[in-house]
């Protein structure tokens, strides 16, 4: 079952964070579901961590956490 088959307009906002050197889950997976979310009108974003593989550490982790916190504040936090 692919998550692509379950995308619908009532999905929650979705943030994708992917390393462009990930060989376990290649970035094109994120790009395909990003396009599906956009087509369904779901607020979505893709953060690409250049040079990163699967999982992040150091500065890459700090960026991923910062992007996630910002996403929650913009899309999911109560007003």
Give the DSSP letter of residue 25.
Answer: S
From first to last of the 79 residues of the chain, give the pLDDT tens digit.
Answer: 788 999 999 999 999 999 999 999 999 999 999 999 999 999 999 999 999 999 999 999 999 999 999 999 998 887 6
Q: Which secondary structure element, helix H or strand E, spans residue 18, and what is its range?
A: strand 14-19
CA-atom Rg of the chain in angstroms: 13
pTM of the entire predicted model: 0.89
pLDDT of residue 79: 63
> Rounded CA gap, 35 and 8, in Å?
12
């Amino acid at each position: 079952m692919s998550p692509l088959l379950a995308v619908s307009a009532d999905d929650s906002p979705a943030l994708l964070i992917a390393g462009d050197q990930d060989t376990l889950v290649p970035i094109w997976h994120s790009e395909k579901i990003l396009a599906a979310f956009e087509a369904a009108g779901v607020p979505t974003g893709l953060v690409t961590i250049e040079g990163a593989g699967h999982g992040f550490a150091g500065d890459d982790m700090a960026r991923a956490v910062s992007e996630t916190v910002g996403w929650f504040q913009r899309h999911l936090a109560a007003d």
